[in-house]
Amino acid sequence: MTISAATQVLAVIGDPVAHSLSPAMHNGWIADHGLDAVYVALPLTGEDPGAALGALKRFGFRGANVTVPHKEAAARAADRSESAVANVLRWEEDGSVSAFNTDGLGFLDSLSERAPDWRGRTSRVLMLGAGGAARAIATTISPYVDTIHFANRTPERGESAALSLPNGRTLRWDDLERGFGAADLIVQATTLGMDGQPETEWPVANCRANAIVADIVYRPLHTPLLIAARARGLTTIDGLGMLIHQGARSFELWFDVKPDAAKARARLLTALGEAQ
């Protein structure tokens, strides 16, 4: 691909972003569709992300993904936002910037891909964690299920997440054995099990035989939770699915074409050093 003055620029903005898989994913799709565009990683450090994001609006990018810790600042900096927490920015023809959140729908897409019958199987959800990703997923899934129980290390954050949904409930962090036994769908949305972070022993032995177990951590791809759930023969969903589908929905918002999720998965497995 030749980069010229006409090449459109897209980016992932966050801190850190040096190991982000988004450039590999989006540049692969840009090549698939023969687009004159390039996707780079922009670290945004420092105290006042709002000022930097506000200034960035004037540069005429095509689009951007925003990741931790700047998703709320991005929603505030945009001229309009569908959510208070944004992971996608789109520059419009009039120079204004729109913000979107594709995290929840990205998770839902990955769930439907791996467990197409999930809606018939799921009335009770156990959400492990109450951070940004947990809340985005829970908000999207809430209309389709009876209850979502948040179990969070810091109970106040779990309570606040539960209160934001009509069917939100809380479960004590030391009551996970009961929670695992009652859930049809378990979503692991804490940083536990992530490379460089602590691990824990989840009570997978308590899971129902037809439970679905999802872990949104993708480094490592095969987390201790997923390994234990697979050993029990449960349906499992890894974190790459959510990453790819939130990205695919971002790409569609920018270019109005649906990119190939399977091709992205093959590329990202290679990037992660996973044999296919």
CA angle, residues 236, 168, 103, in degrees to nearest 5: 50
Binding site for ligand NAP (CB under 6 A): 68, 103, 129-134, 152-154, 157, 189-192, 194, 198, 216-218, 239, 242-243, 246
Separation CA 164–CA 162 (nearest Å): 5
Taking each helix axis from N to C terminus, what angle separates 239-255 and 261-271, rounded to the nearest 10 degrees? Answer: 130
Closest distance of CB 92 from ligand NAP, Å: 26
CB-nearer residue toward ligand NAP: 12 or 53: 12
CB of 181 to ligand NAP, least distance (A): 20
Contact 75, 86 (CB under 8 A): yes
Q: How far apart are CA 56 and CA 93, in angstroms?
A: 15
Q: How far is the CB of 140 from ligand NAP (least distance, A)?
A: 13
Shortest distance in whole angstroms from residue 238 CB to ligand NAP: 8
Residue closer to ligand NAP, measured from CB, 91 or 218: 218
Where are the strands (E) in the chain, listed by range? 8-14, 37-43, 63-66, 80-81, 88-91, 97-100, 124-128, 147-151, 168-171, 185-188, 212-215, 235-237
* CB closer to ligand NAP out of 122 and 250: 250
Take residue 44 and report the two structure tokens written for it.
């945004």
Q: Are strands 97-100 and 88-91 parallel, antiparallel or unpaired?
A: antiparallel
Q: Which residues pair with 151 in a beta bridge?
A: 128, 171
Q: In this complex, which beta carbon is closest to ligand NAP, that of residue 22 or of residue 122?
A: 22
In the structure encoding, which two tokens stand for residue 177, read together? Answer: 């054995």
Instruction: Give 59-95 as a DSSP string.
Output: G--SEEEE-TT-HHHHHHHSSEESSSS-SEEEE-TTS
Both tokens assigned to 51: 């000022």
Query: What does the DSSP 8-state code read for residue 1?
Result: -
Q: Which is nearer to ligand NAP, 143 or 198 (CB)?
A: 198
Which residue is nearest to ligand NAP, using beta carbons? Answer: 131
**Known catalytic residues?**
71
Contact 204, 176 (CB under 8 A): no
Residue with Cβ nearer ligand NAP (57 or 155): 155
Q: How far is the CB of 64 from ligand NAP (least distance, A)?
A: 16
Smallest distance, Å, CB 97 to ligand NAP? 22
